[in-house]
Amino acid sequence: MIALFAPSMVSAADVAHGEQVFSLICAACHIGGGNVVNGQRTLQQDDLKAYLANYNDGHEEAIAYQVTNGKNGMPAFGPKLSDADIADVAAYVESQSVKGWS
């Protein structure tokens, strides 16, 4: 019975940790799901869907790829963050985009 609840508790903890990572590393450019470098590449759900439509993986995997490797004005954070940090921040970004960053 406990195992049935474990994934959701882990998932919630990952999103909470992702929020911490986002606040420390990402919020300077992406506060509130925006983008101070390129206003057309926000973290809002519609922009993410349009931008990430080229990826075959799910949104979290595509977000993690972007965080790891960077692109254009966004630096690569793969050398600075652990795989778990990147997965957690991707889960946080996805969860916030669904909620409209409110």
C-alpha–C-alpha distance, residues 78 and 65, integer Å: 9
What's the pLDDT score for residue 5?
A: 39
pLDDT in tens, 22-65: 999 999 999 999 999 988 889 998 888 887 777 666 688 889 99
Q: What is the mean pLDDT of residues 80-86?
A: 95
Does the reported pTM lie above 0.85? no
Asked whether the beta carbons of 51 and 40 are under 8 A apart, the reply is no
pLDDT in tens, 10-23: 455 599 999 999 99
DSSP 26-52: IHHHHGGG--SS-TTS-SSHHHHHHHH
The set of residues, in sequence order, having a beta carbon less than 8 Å from that of 45 and lying 6+ positions away, is: 97, 98, 100
Domains within the chain, CATH numbers bracketed: 43-102 (1.10.760.10)
Asked whether the beta carbons of 26 and 43 are under 8 A apart, the reply is no
